[in-house]
Amino acid sequence: MTEPETDATESSDGRAAWLWRGATAAFSIPGLILASAFVGFAGLARDAGLTLAQTVFMTGVVWALPGKVVLISAILAGSSLPTAAFAVALSSVRLAPMVVALTPELRGPRTPAWVLYALSHFVAVTSWVLAMERVGDIPRAMRTSFYAGLGLTLVLGNMAVVAFVFVVAGRLPPAVSAALFFLTPLYFLTSLWGSAREKAGQTAMLLGLVFGPVFHLLIPGFDLLATGLLAGFMAFGLHLISKGRKAV
Amino acid sequence: MSFTAIDTWWWPYVFILIAGWLATDLWRFLGVYFGGRLSDESELLVLVRCIATALVAAVIANLIIFPSGALAATPLLLRIGAGLAGFAAYLAVGKRVLVGIVAGEMVLGAGMFINHAL
């Protein structure tokens, strides 16, 4: 209803500008933190015996970092193809609700479906949090261009980071690796709070932080799914109760 | 049929494509299919956002509580303390992500230093 009228400004010029703005959004603190997480991943893949080409290929086609870590552990454990695929699929279920939440925000009035399917490949935590934070300030018709620039730059940039680290860097001192590995949870902890659309999102985050490790011990493998459903429904229930009170 | 089962150059790539690409993009494509059918003012979307946020929060907590690599060698209480310190600093200065990250890393670094010195 309050959407700005963007049809008049929808020229090829405008698209290129938003694509560029998306690409530059990758060169930010979140982008830097993600790159440092990929420094750690390159070391993990090399230790697991993967080649440079296999590691860079995996970075591009899987993209989400937790899924790749699970895939590497499955390879290390000598798992069969179906077992490895099942473990990776289980660790990636969270991508579905993330994409469900992002798609209506990215979609313009005339966005073709294939564009949304292609862009969904870029969805992982960093680009999702960045997009949920920023799309509100972007004209609706230009959001897909912005996200394409952001996603492509992050994926290609981190494929380059992985290749560079794989070839050049030796083993990092343990204290440096520990500090690098800790950047990711610290960044997500703070930015996830800021990107919440409503109070219910923050409730869901706090519940998820507590339930995640508990379910990790109780039902390993299904912990993320169980946490998402239980904490998500609880936060939504509280949201409905507080909304009902306001209405009365 | 493990990663090293077939001794050709292409088998590892097929393995990564099926166990990696297919197993993750399947969920992303499903998300577009269902997300395309929801209005962005739908109440159902609040629920989906809650579930997605809780899932990401679980990933964060597990990275702190059950880390892999070099972080696993640090004390659990230090990691929890550093995470709480970072989050508190972030809230205290009016939601500045960089401040939260620097504060958390400083606590972790100081803790590792003290732990090493003792």
- How many CB pairs below 8 A link A and B? 327
Residue carrying structure tokens 């732990």: B115
- Identify all chain B residues contacting A192, using CB atoms and an 8 Å cutoff: 53, 56-57, 60
Would an 8 Å CB–CB cutoff place B98 in contact with chain A?
yes
Flag if B60 and A54 touch (Cβ within 8 Å): no
B29-75, pLDDT tens digit by residue?
999 999 888 776 778 888 888 988 898 898 889 889 988 777 888 99
Query: Considering the domain boundaries, does residue B84 fall inside one?
Result: yes
Helices (H) and strands (E) counted in chain B, each on its own, are 5, 0
Scanning every residue of chain A, which has its alpha carbon at the shortest distance from the alpha carbon of B48? A97
Residue carrying structure tokens 């996603």: A151
For chain B, give the mean pLDDT: 90
CB–CB of A42/A162 below 8 Å? yes
Query: Considering the domain boundaries, does residue B109 fall inside one?
Result: yes
Please report how the helices A29-47 and A174-195 are oriented relative to each other, as an axis angle in degrees rounded to 10. 140
- CA pseudo-torsion sign A53, A58, A61, A65: negative
Runs of H (alpha helix) within chain A: 12-25, 29-47, 52-62, 65-76, 81-91, 95-106, 113-120, 125-134, 143-168, 174-195, 199-218, 223-247
The CA distance from A248 to B108, in Å, is 48
CA nearest A231: which of B68, B58, B37, B74? B58
Predicted local confidence at residue B1, as pLDDT: 83
Predicted local confidence at residue B76, as pLDDT: 96
The CA distance from A190 to A208, in Å, is 14
Measured CA angle at A127 (ends B109, A108), to 5 deg? 160
DSSP class of A27: S
**ipTM at complex level:** 0.82
Structural domain for B115, as ranges? 68-118
Flag if B62 and A210 touch (Cβ within 8 Å): no
A109-144, pLDDT tens digit by residue?
899 999 999 999 999 988 998 898 899 899 999 999
The CA distance from A227 to A232, in Å, is 8
A136-194, pLDDT tens digit by residue?
899 999 999 999 999 999 999 999 999 998 887 656 777 887 887 788 788 888 888 98
Predicted local confidence at residue B15, as pLDDT: 96
Predicted local confidence at residue A2, as pLDDT: 46
Predicted local confidence at residue A192, as pLDDT: 84
CB B34: neighbour CB atoms within 10 A?
15
The DSSP code sequence of B49-105 is HHHHHHHHHHHHHHHHHS--GGGGGS-HHHHHHHHHHHHHHHHHTTS-HHHHHHHHH
- Identify all chain A residues contacting B90, using CB atoms and an 8 Å cutoff: 189-190, 193
Query: Considering the domain boundaries, does residue B108 fall inside one?
Result: yes
CA nearest B97: which of B86, B108, B106, B83? B86
The CA distance from B54 to A228, in Å, is 5
Q: Which two tokens stand for residue A204?
A: 């869901």
Percent of the residues in chain A that have a pLDDT greater than 70, as a whole number: 92
Predicted local confidence at residue A10, as pLDDT: 47
pLDDT-derived band at A248 (thresholds 50, 70, 90) equals low
Query: Considering the domain boundaries, does residue B86 fall inside one?
Result: yes
- Identify all chain B residues contacting A61, using CB atoms and an 8 Å cutoff: 16-17, 20-21
Query: Considering the domain boundaries, does residue B41 fall inside one?
Result: no
Flag if A188 and B13 touch (Cβ within 8 Å): no
Flag if B60 and A179 touch (Cβ within 8 Å): no
Would an 8 Å CB–CB cutoff place B6 in contact with chain A?
no
Category of A212 on φ-ψ map: left (φ > 0), alpha (ψ -120 to 50) or beta:
alpha
Query: Considering the domain boundaries, does residue B2 fall inside one?
Result: no
B13: number of CA atoms within 13 Å, CB side? 9
Number of domains comprising chain B: 1
CA of A216, closest CA in chain B: separation in Å? 8
Would an 8 Å CB–CB cutoff place B117 in contact with chain A?
no
Would an 8 Å CB–CB cutoff place B93 in contact with chain A?
no
CA of B118, closest CA in chain A: separation in Å? 16
CB–CB of A126/A150 below 8 Å? no
Contacts of A45 (CB under 8 A, 6+ apart): A54, A55, A58, A72, A162, A166
pLDDT-derived band at B89 (thresholds 50, 70, 90) equals very high
A88-104, pLDDT tens digit by residue?
887 788 899 899 999 99
Predicted local confidence at residue A60, as pLDDT: 97
Mean pLDDT of A40-46: 81
DSSP class of B72: G
> Which amino acid appears at position A24 of this protein?
T
Facing B27 at nearest CB: one of A30, A84, A95:
A95
Query: Considering the domain boundaries, does residue B60 fall inside one?
Result: no
Query: Considering the domain boundaries, does residue B61 fall inside one?
Result: no
> Which one has a higher pLDDT value, B84 or B48?
B84
Facing B32 at nearest CB: one of A58, A120, A188:
A120
